[in-house]
Amino acid sequence: MKRTLTLAGITLLALPAAAYAQDRHHGRDHGRGMGDLMATYDTNQDGQITQEEVDTFRSTRLAEFDADGDGALSLDEYQALWLDAYRERMVDNFQRHDDDGDGLVTAEEFGEDQADMVARMDSNDDGVLTTQDRRGHRKSKN
């Protein structure tokens, strides 16, 4: 049985993935908000989003990734759509890890975020994390 997603069945296309991508990296909210929704859906740039604009965007995105033109997305076609939608978030994460901006993420840069994870989350100060530590409060970084 061929798995396909019809236009009516693709709820993830209702809002682009980037519109609500949230990353609480180091306490900063890198979420997307109304400005990104406007940039995506307000096609006539009148400062308003209509359902017609949303529906048109969704139809256009489906057609863009419907490689065989059958009006539905196979799993492979949907994967291409999904990867495209998350590419911006991936690039943002890469750039956030690339501290020196040289276009490379070193082991040091990649591990920096979690370098003090155990100490930060170890609510009973025993040097290890267990399910009991989940019940404790996170320590603040000082």
pLDDT digits (tens, 9 = 90+) for 47-64: 999 999 999 999 999 999
Owner of token pair 């993420």: 105
Place of tokens 């990104």: 36
Amino acid at position 30, single letter: H
Question: What does pLDDT average to over the chain?
Answer: 78
Query: How many whole angstroms separate alpha carbon 72 and alpha carbon 112?
Result: 43
| Rounded distance between C-alpha atoms, residue 142 and residue 138, angstroms | 12
In tens, the pLDDT along 77-129 reads 999 999 998 998 899 899 999 999 999 999 999 988 888 899 888 888 899 99
